[in-house]
Structure 1
Amino acid sequence: MVLTGKLLSQTEIKCDGDVIHEFWGSKPHHISGISPDKIQGCDLHEGEWGTAGSVIEWSYFLDGKAQTVKQIIESIDKVHKTVVYKVIEGNLLELYKTFLVKIHVDTKGENNLVTWTFEYEKLHEGIEDPTTTMDFLVKVTKEIETHHL
């Protein structure tokens, strides 16, 4: 059985795509104010907001329980509107040996498209793909969209 996986989700948004990129790249600590039932906080542990190499920790509610994840921001590309996070601590690492999260916002044309990509390695073959985590991030993204319409 293959333990490595890649999961992708694309969502069309009506708000300015630059806003979505800015929140996930430079202002993640503001997301809990928009989606407080899902995200309780985002704290900076090292570095500065909006810079690669910074370490942030999220507190969130998923699958009926409080969870945390600590991530290092591997890259932020303002031109191509991508942010890449690498999970370094937290609940996800109870299931996955490695977990990389990428968000890309395509702002070409009339409609904006948000693409979330997960690359991961499961600890063992009995672990499900992280579809509930993907659904969670899509819902939070849609709440940011609604907040800015």
Structure 2
Amino acid sequence: MIDTKKIVEAAERNLTGTDLFVVGCTCSAGNEIELTVDSDTSVDIDACAALSRAVEAEFDRDAEDFSLTVASAGIGSELRCLRQYRKLTGRPVEVLLTSGVKVLATLDEATDEGIVLSYEEKQLVEGRKRKQSVRVTRSYSYPEIKYTKEWLDFK
């Protein structure tokens, strides 16, 4: 079984000088390797194919047979690294907290400790009989977050 760390290291060497970065790498028992990359702008299929060829060239198929798939992190995929969070700053995201609460909000900031979200919430305002919609800003640490995804509204 091929070590995923070696695959990631080879990919990062080949991505130096580009805006692409490695998000994750998995390897099945049958040596089927999936390398996921993302970019600060966009990932095209030519970049994935070139990276696949470059990484495969660094390994000997005679020593160990493997299958390598290089794919981009899709729009609906979970964010896995700080660089992905920073890329989505100012955009709508869907966050599922470990408490089971789902939040649709704007990602205001991403730091090493956590994220800052702002969203509309109905709250009882002093002097009003009904709850009013109020813009709320809250911080969440990464351990509080089960997943975060980019939110696309098709309405």
Specify the TM-score bucket, using the shorter chain as the normaliser: under 0.3
Greater RCO (CA < 8 Å, at least 6 residues apart):
1
TM-score normalised by structure 2 residue count: 0.27
Q: Greater share of strand residues, 1 or 2?
A: 1
Higher-Rg structure is: 2
